[in-house]
Amino acid sequence: MWIALVCLYGVIKGVRDIIKKKAMEKNSAMEVLFFYTLLSFIFVLPETKNALAADFHYIGFIMIKSAIIFAAWICGFKAIKKLPVGFYGIMDMSRVIFATFLGMTVLHETMTLHRGAGMALVLAGLLLVNIGGGRSDEKTKPRYIMLVLASCLGNAVSELLDKILMNNMNSGQLQFWYMFFLLLLYLGYMLFTRTKIEWSALFKNYWIIILSVLFVIGDKALFIACADQRSTVVAMTLIKQCSVMIAIIGGRIVFKEKRTAYKLICASVIVCGIVFAVM
């Protein structure tokens, strides 16, 4: 069951990456981030009573998670605005490295032969894209690559905290408080920096609504999967990489990105790694 839920999250994540880029065609990264978070929080308001019953000893950890995601999302959104979505999706797989290291060092998860071979295939797919000209058509700057890597690190730490927190609360409680603190952080940032808002464009940007709905559904599935004792940070991170297939195909269909066939071959290597890792 948990594998199916993580697969669902991976598919939604791939779709979300495409929609993020579409949403930022009309508004800035910070505008999309704030209103996307606001709508997502409104969608989880029915969990208020449940959230107030949570063990408040863990609220501090949720605040830390929210602060990490606050920074990671800013990095990720700024990167995806400038990078082709297919290439961004492939680079985002770098989080496998960070999640594996954290899972083994903090949660003492074991690196089995299957998982090791699966991760090696995932990394091989990532390497093939870079050394085989997978981004020859794409003008990339080192700073955007660094933003993706920073986002991957932040998301990997967040996934580790998810696994810990879901042993002590339910998905509704975590989702409510996580979105609450995240909303406060983005609101504070926009007020402090006096971010200008293009209201007319914002109200017409229906991509943000779709993004918020997918976010709430995806995170709900992920948190439930985290609560399953059979799930591990390493395995979940590997399974999530099915999102790359959606990003590559979506990049071709929606944004007319090139070298799709080559990227799909590399992604196939990655999918083989995912399947091998969870056998």
Residue 40 pLDDT level (bands cut at 50, 70, 90) = very high
pLDDT at 134: 46
Q: Which of these ranges, 46-60, 171-185, 217-231, has the smallest mean pLDDT?
A: 217-231
**pLDDT tens across 157-206, in order?**
998 899 889 989 999 999 999 999 999 999 999 999 888 888 888 888 99
Q: What amino acid is encoded at 231 in this protein? A: S
User: Which residue would you say has higher pLDDT here, 136 or 267?
Assistant: 267
- The token pair at 38 is 């606001």
Closest to 271 in 3D by CA, of 233, 226, 232, 240: 240
pLDDT at 279: 64
Interval 91-101 mean pLDDT: 78
pLDDT at 132: 59
Cα–Cα distance for residue pair 229/16, rounded to 1 Å: 27
Angle 16-24-256 (CA atoms, 0-180°, nearest 5)? 70
Cα–Cα distance for residue pair 206/208, rounded to 1 Å: 5
Residues with Cβ within 8 Å of residue 23, at least 6 apart in sequence: 32, 36, 205, 207, 208, 211
Largest CA distance in the chain: 55
- The token pair at 129 is 């894209």
Length of the chain: 279
Interval 42-59 mean pLDDT: 93
Interval 246-274 mean pLDDT: 83
Residue 64 pLDDT level (bands cut at 50, 70, 90) = very high
Q: What amino acid is encoded at 99 in this protein? A: A
User: Which residue would you say has higher pLDDT here, 34 or 201?
Assistant: 34
Interval 50-78 mean pLDDT: 94
Q: What amino acid is encoded at 4 in this protein? A: A
Residues with Cβ within 8 Å of residue 210, at least 6 apart in sequence: 19
Is residue 149's pLDDT more than 80?
yes
Q: Say whether 93 sits in a helix, a strand or coil.
A: helix
Terminal Cα-to-Cα distance of the chain (whole angstroms): 14
Cα–Cα distance for residue pair 260/167, rounded to 1 Å: 41
Is residue 137's pLDDT more than 60?
no
**Do the Cβ atoms of 123 and 96 come closer than 8 Å?**
yes
Computed over every residue of the chain, the mean pLDDT equals 85
Q: What amino acid is encoded at 155 in this protein? A: N
Is residue 138's pLDDT more than 60?
no
pLDDT at 136: 46
Interval 8-23 mean pLDDT: 92
DSSP conformation class of 136: T
Q: Which of these ranges, 14-23, 72-81, 254-263, has the smallest mean pLDDT?
A: 254-263
- Taking the model in full, what pTM does it have? 0.85
- CB count within 10 Å of CB 185 equals 21
- The token pair at 262 is 């080559």
Alpha helices in 83-112, H assignment, sequence order: 85-91, 95-106
Q: Which of these ranges, 5-9, 22-26, 35-39, 195-199, has the smallest mean pLDDT?
A: 195-199
Is residue 42's pLDDT more than 90?
yes
